[in-house]
Structure 1
Amino acid sequence: MLETALDLPTRTTDKTDIQTYRHSLLEWVMKEFVLALDHLLKRGLRFDYRRVEEEQRYLRGRLDMNKQLRQPPGRAHIFNIRHDLFLADRPENRLLKSALMRICGLTQEADTWRLSHELAGLVAEIPDSQNIAADFRQWRSDRLMAHYQPVRPWCELVLDQHMPLAMRGKTHGISLLFPMEKLFERYVEVKLRQRLPAQYTLKAQAASRSLCTHQGKNLFQLRPDLLIQHHKETVLVLDTKWKLLSAADSENKYGLSQGDFYQMFAYGHNYLPGEGDMILTYPKTGNFSETMQPFEFSEKLRLWVTPFDLEKDEMHWPNDIKASVFAPLRLAG
């Protein structure tokens, strides 16, 4: 469903305790890492002083007298020196470089590949991490390193090749929340477009009707999820609901919402002028696997409650709609 609705906005919340599982990296994880790293590099990498002890033919920094006094006569002209270099070679940067190089070799998405290789040129002088676990233990979280914190969870996912699960666990990472009602709506829309006969068009989020007028102005805009039209004439109104129904629980109205029925009643009188068929579709489950008998608002206006099979990507169309609306065309599902 996420792959079908790639433009669906995600919401990054506070860090949470989740479970992870061993899996190859997903493109969206690699994309989020390179975007976070790009933002970090624009703010600037943190450098640190690193003590270097070496032998040179010139003096720099401090002379190590103990080593120098032990030099043999033939090497008296070689100086043992100590000095500090201001380098980006620090644990955090080494880990980021290692994660970035892994993504450069794995990603198959054009934008991620382009950005990752651009960033690789900016961190080319930083060495790769030789001990990932040790470098993570040395990752500092003080005030000067605060701007590194957003990229760390992504870096951990990339280097460990662990994907997050929507279950409580011991891993401290990122929680991604998706509005399931919107995800389900867009998923159904895409699948219907693929299977709908060519003579029909599918319009999403129509907003051409309002519930009433007041002083010449339209009030309370009506926005059904989907309209099926034939030659610009609406023949079917559909609404999607991410809820669980039970076809056996008639005492509790199968789990249906009275508010949803009021909404469909308004759609029927404004988009179908009180005559025709409407559909409320819910996810198919073991307790709801067949289309219910129609709910009649009047002799001419009916509402069907149908399941959408997420495993087969099929709508369970009522036989009456197949025969009247889509006849003589064949419609999958």
Structure 2
Amino acid sequence: MRHYCLREFERLPHGSGEGQIPENDAESLAAVARSSAFAGAGEVGVLEHHRAFLRARNVVGMIVAPRASLEILPKIDLPPGEAGDTATEAGALRRRLVHMLAVALDLRIETGTVTALSWQRETLLEILIRIFCVKLSAQLRRGMPRRYISQEDDLPALRGRIDVARQFTRHAANPSRLACRFDALSEDIALNRIIRATINHLAGISFSSANQQRLRELGFAYADVTEVPVSALRWDLVVLDRTNRGWAELVALAKLFLRGRYQNTSAGRADGTSLLFEMDALFEAYVARLVRRALTGTDLVPDVQGGGLCCLIEADTNRGLFRTRPDILIRRGGSVVQVVDTKWKRIAARIDDRKQGVSQADVYQMMAYAQLYHAPKVTLLYPHHHGLPGKEGVQATHRFTGGDQALELTSLDISRGEIILARIKEMLLGHAVDV
């Protein structure tokens, strides 16, 4: 298995030398990428397959083909202490990406269980598989979830209640057998079937001997659970309550692993798997979760993907058109005090570009939010990078023509994840917060 690694929007040229990819590997990876939900109508949402190179886009994660795998990492500027050789930088980027996934999916992932060497040597997929195995082992030590399920059986003694119709049809001439219907405590439930399917799936795509061993050991614990195809899993029957709340994270990880599985590509039938994340959506979910945490205990209330006001009202029917869904509305009482919209793109320094690379469409969108929601401040939030002068935070403030409402261009340093919650709080409350 040959492994390749890229950052967002980087190119991997065709060839057989170091830092190149043979054309047959490029074609097989591109075929897998074309089957992704992120591929889009042009089938280039994940990878652009050109005559002389592959080019990544703003979708990160893993693409695994029969003979090759490609890891796409986010384009995040690292602090000087973590920037260096390729392996060190890749390890730091994997750690940042796992941190973002953990926050966005509300997972408690103890990245300290993964050594610095593992971050550098193992792919994102193998690291996530290891985290899944560690979490599953810990939960199994507390016991596998069980629930009462209805069963039917013909028994020599009564258990539960008699199934009268079956008793007088099947056993009318043999009263020594009783047609019983009863509830039995069982491990063969939807949640455990999902976990078993996840173990089986990961065993088929992991190339780490250590992870393969972990998965084999975990598989033994599920020997009595029915094996169900991924397409037939009953996610709707999973019940998470106070008795099995600790399994919520494992269900979330199972969805992460199983939702990207497929068998068909646009080039014909091919085996492959992908674990991909659209950075625009991930950044939005990451910031939204941080905002919720940061505002806990304050008089500000975040409303994620709320609003719903329309830009236009039909004069004759009074129906709304062009409904809006701001990423985050910050409310105090019944009023909106700030609208935050996230953008996973790089803004330029003002000295280089007065508009800082902000698109006209984004400005129009924020102007509409300011007017519709009567917000005194609207914020475009971007990832911070080394090309911006000074520290993260407000990079520029503008006033909309004809009013007092302000548009802020703000950056957030993703590389400093250990204190990011305090910095989000400072950004929203407008004063320094002790770290």
TM-score, normalization by structure 1: 0.51
Q: Verify the 8 A CA contact 1:308 1:314 in the aligned structure 2.
A: no
1:177 paired residue number: 276
- Aligned partners of 1:211, 1:204: CA distance in 2, in Å? 19
For 2:101, what is the secondary structure of its paired residue?
A: coil
Aligned residues of 1:307 and 1:316 also touching (Cα < 8 A): no
Point out where structure 2 has 5 or more consecutive residues left out of the alignment: 1-99, 108-119, 137-193, 228-256, 258-270
Unmatched segments (≥5 aa) in structure 1: 9-18, 41-91, 106-112, 124-153, 155-171
Please say if residues 306 and 315 of structure 1, whose CA atoms lie closer than 8 Å, have aligned partners that are also in contact. Answer: no
Distance 2:333 2:345 in 1: 33
Residue of structure 1 in register with 2:294 after alignment: 195
Structure-2 change in CA distance of 1:210 and 1:191 (3 Å): same
What SS is found at the alignment partner of 1:242? Answer: coil
- For residues 306-317 of structure 1, what are the structure 2 equivalents within 5 Å? 306-310=410-414, 311=416, 312-313=419-420
DSSP-derived class of the 2:102 partner: coil
Tell me if the contact between 2:379 and 2:409 (Cα under 8 Å) persists in the aligned partners: yes
Structure 1 residues 116 and 211, CA, compared in 2 at 3 Å: closer, same or farther? farther
Task: Please provide the CA RMSD for this pair.
Answer: 4.4
Deviation for aligned residue 1:121:
7.1
Q: Which residue does 1:35 correspond to in 2?
A: 197
d(CA) in 2 for partners of 1:205, 1:330:
27
Report the Cα offset of residue 100 of structure 1: 7.0
For the 8 Å contact 1:237–1:278, the answer to whether it is kept is yes
Q: 2:156 corresponds to which residue?
A: none
Of the candidates 400, 405, 427, which is equivalent to residue 297 of structure 1? 400
Contact kept? 2:348, 2:387, Cα under 8 Å = yes
Structure-2 residue corresponding to 1:233: 335
Q: Shift of residue 179 of structure 1?
A: 1.1
2:372 to 242, 258, 270: 270
* Residue type of the alignment partner of 1:253: K
Contact 1:249–1:255 (CA under 8 A) maintained in structure 2:
no
- Find the counterpart in structure 1 of residue 304 from structure 2: 204
CA change 1:241–1:104 in 2 (3 A) is same
Q: Distance in 2 between matches of 1:186 and 1:268?
A: 22
- Residue 118, structure 1, aligned to residue 225, structure 2: no
Q: How far apart are residue 101 of structure 1 and its match?
A: 6.0
CA distance in 2, matches of 1:258, 1:315: 32
DSSP-derived class of the 2:122 partner: strand
**Alpha-carbon separation, structure 1, partners of 2:420 and 2:384:** 10
Deviations 1:250-303 (A, max 9, x none): 43721211111110011010011xx61111110111123442231111331110
Partner of 2:165: none
SS at match of 2:287: helix
Map 1:1-333; keep pairs closer than 5 Å: 1-6=100-105, 21=122, 25-28=129-132, 34-36=196-198, 102-103=214-215, 105=217, 117-119=221-223, 174-196=273-295, 197-214=297-314, 215-248=317-350, 250-251=352-353, 253-272=355-374, 276-288=376-388, 289-290=391-392, 291-298=394-401, 299-310=403-414, 311=416, 312-313=419-420, 326=429
The one of the two structures with greater contact order (alpha-carbon pairs below 8 A, sep at least 6) is 1
Distance 1:269 1:248 in 2: 26
SS of equivalent to 2:340 = strand
Secondary structure of 1:303 counterpart: strand
Q: 1:318 to 1:230 in 2, by over 3 A?
A: closer
Alpha-carbon shift at residue 314 of structure 1 (Å): 5.0
* Alpha-carbon distance in structure 2 between the residues aligned to 1:200 and 1:264: 21
Decide whether aligned partners of structure 1 residues 317 and 295 sit closer, same or farther in structure 2, where only a CA change above 3 A counts.
Answer: farther
Q: Aligned AA for 1:187?
A: Y
The structure with more radius of gyration = 1
Distance 1:122 1:314, change over 3 A: closer
Matched letter for residue 182 of structure 1: A
Q: Which residue of 2 aligns with 1:167?
A: none
SS in 2 for 1:102: helix
* C-alpha distance in 2 between matches for 1:20 and 1:33: 27
- Counting matched residue pairs gives 208
Measured in 2, the distance between the counterparts of 1:213 and 1:223 equals 16
TM-score by length of 2: 0.40
Preserved CA contact (<8 Å) 2:307 2:329:
no
Paired with 1:198 and 1:285, the residues of 2 have a C-alpha distance of 30
CA distance in 2, matches of 1:203, 1:227: 5
Q: Which residue of structure 2 aligns with residue 109 of structure 1?
A: none
Q: How far has the Cα of 1:174 moved from its partner?
A: 3.9
Secondary structure of the residue that 2:320 maps to in structure 1?
strand
Distance in 2 of aligned mates of 1:238 and 1:309: 16
1:219-260, Cα deviation, whole Å (9 max, x unpaired): 000110001111132111110000011214543721211111
